Amino acid sequence: MLATGGGLVFTGGTTDRYFHAFDAATGKLLWQYRTNSGITGVPTSFEVDGVQYIAVQSGWGVDAQGMLGRIDKARNTETIVPQGGVVWVFALRR
């Protein structure tokens, strides 16, 4: 999770592949974006030429597929875990 000075909280980390932004005061979901895979990194914030950016790593590996495979076996389900590493970068608009 990452909390910003502007009152936003960014988080991900589930196999649904969504990266979320919440209002820090109310907890209301403000925005979400479905990435290529599960969020695996801690979000970070940086600024270039006066524009604030949020970056996060996405890309479950074979360990996540193996762990979910054991859960699927117990539940008699099949979950697809997309793999591959990507760094997503989002600009914050004022």
Q: What is the pLDDT of residue 64?
A: 67
Q: What is the pLDDT of residue 17?
A: 84
Total number of domains in the chain: 1
In tens, the pLDDT along 25-77 reads 999 999 999 988 888 889 999 999 999 999 999 887 666 677 778 888 999 99
Report the DSSP beta bridge partners of residue 11.
Answer: 20
Q: What is the pLDDT of residue 88?
A: 94
Tell me the CATH number at 11. 2.40.10
Domain that holds residue 48: 2-91
Q: In sequence order, what are the residues at sequence separation of 6 or more whose Cβ sits closer than 8 angstroms to the Cβ of residue 91?
A: 51, 52, 53
